[in-house]
Structure 1
Amino acid sequence: MLNFACTFKIQTMKNKKVLVTGGSGFVGIHTILQLLQQGYTVHTTLRSLSKKENIISALAKGGITELQDLHFFEADLTADKGWNEATEGCDYVLHVASPFPLVEPEDENDLIIPARDGSLRVLKVAKLSGVKRVVLTSSFAAIGYGADRKGHTFTEEDWTDENASVAPYIKSKTIAEKAAWEFIRKEGGDMELSVINPVGIFGPVIGDIYPASYEGVIKAILEGTVTESPAFTFGIVDVRDVAGIHIKAMLHPEARGQRFLATSDGAVSFYDVAQLIKTERPQKADRIAEMKPTQPEMYTQMSNRKAVDILGWQPRSKEEAILASVDSTVA
């Protein structure tokens, strides 16, 4: 009976098609991996199909060798071409694609316009294709900036003030998410929207697909190029849990019209990350610079209670996520 039930579930999921935008990204590849493991048929978009082999190689390292349920489509968020084909027959869309610049552009519109218009393009074609629900990857950037809120615990009720003096990336994520909600209110019809707002995404690398956090935090600390702990802290979430919360939000009836702050418990500083590596992975810590601790009053407070209570989401600890990133490094 158990085998029959498992087989029935897999067959049922194979009848469900999910589009994951940006399959060559860190969150994208982990989301595709989990969906395939759960028996879904997956469509994914790439700006260039030349990246297809990288995805196949990464999935193989993640244990997926049968790819008959994975289909690739060339589509760019800045153009209409390819999106109708990518969404055709899909029940759900996980709009994960979102470039993270290591260097802020001189013109903020170079980030704002593609982020906003790209999200709207995906929503419009999803509606035309009869998609039931879109899950949009936003960011804590759309929640926690633009005002001095010392002592405040950030939740999904908070919004970044995009009219304040904030970085272009932060502004772009805020504007893009607000535009998505506005589209749903005015033009969405029966299509549903859920939004995930992750903090800094860490965790295991599969293949050669690395997150921005690896270059900007882990590698910088391991190589000793960071010599002082900046006067800010940040939340941590494991990429496996980010992929998982997207799937939970895709399916859970109560996720309709909701945004979810995806974070493990507590924030960290660069000093905290360095000390964790020194303690738990001393063999990789020989080049880490000495740093002074970040002052306690700088620590940002965030709550994942809504995702835990509504979705039953149970994220890994920040320490596990960080060490999984460290363990992905070579030597």
Structure 2
Amino acid sequence: MENLAKQQTVLVTGGTGFIGLYCILQLLKEGYTVKTTLRSLTRKDEVNNLLSKAGINSLEKLSFVEADLTKDHNWDEAVKDCTYVLHVASPFPASDPVDADELIIPARDGALRVLKAARGAGVKRVVLTSSFAAIGYSKDIKDHVFTELDWTDPELSDNAYVKSKSIAEKAAWDFINSEGGDLELTVINPVGVFGPALGKDYSTSIGMVKAIIDGHLTETPPFTFGVADVRDVADIHVIAMTSSKAAGERFLATSTGAMSLYDVAELIRKERPELAGNIGDLQPLDPSLSIVMSNQKAKDLLGWKPKSKEEAILASADSLTE
């Protein structure tokens, strides 16, 4: 892998993002030359510092391109000489915008910009980061196991983020099928992404762990969620990038099992009592509200081995205290 990697360049979009940063980290460790896009090059030093802190001794194989998903400028430059593209960048707001198009348009049009540029540059494969939001929001969770065969119908959701991920992923597949040429597409659909935060741009999911530890969450919402460690999410992107079995496939990226916010609070109380002083009195959920998802396809086709949900949550908690 190392010898082949040395001759290949990979573009990672959204280099300041939580998943994007871990993808860059893994690619550099494996010997690839990496380009990454930032909306502003003013954040270049921040990315370099976080990667150095995470153990990258030499940054000579990393370069930066200023590019914005809402503009055509510089995308041809970004994909130039790249064998692969990991299109990770996409907006994820802390709260729903008033106008859903504020999320839908940059997510959909940004994905198409990247795919068109990649096709024009002769890129072999794009790995697109979608979300469980594009899988699990149209079917009743009762007696159903969610897999890659499930699709969210954006017409049935009022949530702008859910709509944006479904519409953007569908648009990407439509583009590949109708005008993709030789370009291959693989899609990764992560659930809630946890794990150690490298910098201040950690996931909305880790924000929930912080809210529990700080005592800001005092009630258990009536839902459960899947957990994926960010290191595993980066890993499945990099495996899917080169695997011959991954072309034209989508993969649900989740640890085994699901959790409620009550479960997260109890785990921290038990395993990290020193962090539990402010945790509120959350109540357990009715087990019938638990969602069931399968990670079997990623394990079987890609040999992916995700960490446990508990390890991912505790890594989040530990990194917040650092």
1:109-128 mapped onto 2 (5 Å cutoff): 109-128=101-120
Count the aligned residue pairs.
322
Structure 2 CA distance for aligned equivalents of residues 68 and 228 of structure 1: 48
Q: Deviations over 1:174-213 (max 9, x none)?
A: 0000000000000001110000000000001123331111
Give the SS at the match of 1:193: strand
Runs of 5+ in structure 1 lacking a partner? Answer: 1-8
Q: Deviations over 1:48-76 (max 9, x none)?
A: 00111110111011111211100100000
1:147/1:161 contact within 8 Å kept: no
1:137-156 mapped onto 2 (5 Å cutoff): 137-156=129-148
Cα displacement (A) at 1:240: 0.3
Q: Which residue of 284, 293, 300 corresponds with 2:291? A: 300
Equivalent residue number for residue 48 of structure 1:
40
Equivalent residue number for residue 4 of structure 1:
none
Q: Deviations over 1:16-63 (max 9, x none)?
A: 000000010000000000000000000000000011111011101111
Equivalent residue number for residue 239 of structure 1:
230
Structure 2 CA distance for aligned equivalents of residues 222 and 138 of structure 1: 29
Give the SS at the match of 1:253: coil
Runs of 5+ in structure 2 lacking a partner? Answer: none
TM-score normalised by structure 2 residue count: 0.98
Give the SS at the match of 1:141: helix
1:95/1:137 contact within 8 Å kept: yes
Query: Given residue 273 of structure 1, which amino acid in structure 2 is its aligned partner?
Result: V
Q: Deviations over 1:138-178 (max 9, x none)?
A: 00000000232411000000000111133110011000000
Query: Given residue 260 of structure 2, which amino acid in structure 1 is its aligned partner?
Result: S
Query: Given residue 52 of structure 2, which amino acid in structure 1 is its aligned partner?
Result: A
Equivalent residue number for residue 271 of structure 2:
280
Cα displacement (A) at 1:82: 1.2
Q: Which residue of 152, 155, 170 corresponds with 1:163? A: 155
Structure 2 CA distance for aligned equivalents of residues 34 and 245 of structure 1: 11
**Identity score, percent:** 60
Cα displacement (A) at 1:329: 1.5
Structure 1 CA distance for aligned equivalents of residues 90 and 292 of structure 2: 25
Structure 2 CA distance for aligned equivalents of residues 274 and 207 of structure 1: 23
Equivalent residue number for residue 240 of structure 2:
249
Q: Which residue of 70, 84, 94 corresponds with 1:92? A: 84
TM-score normalised by structure 1 residue count: 0.96
Give the SS at the match of 1:20: strand
Structure 2 CA distance for aligned equivalents of residues 11 and 190 of structure 1: 25
The 3 A distance-change label for structure 1 pair 269 and 257 is same
1:80/1:121 contact within 8 Å kept: yes
2:66/2:74 contact within 8 Å kept: yes
1:57/1:207 contact within 8 Å kept: no
Give the SS at the match of 1:163: helix
Structure 1 CA distance for aligned equivalents of residues 104 and 185 of structure 2: 21
Query: Given residue 295 of structure 1, which amino acid in structure 2 is its aligned partner?
Result: D
Q: Deviations over 1:83-139 (max 9, x none)?
A: 111110000000000121001000111111111000000000000010000000000
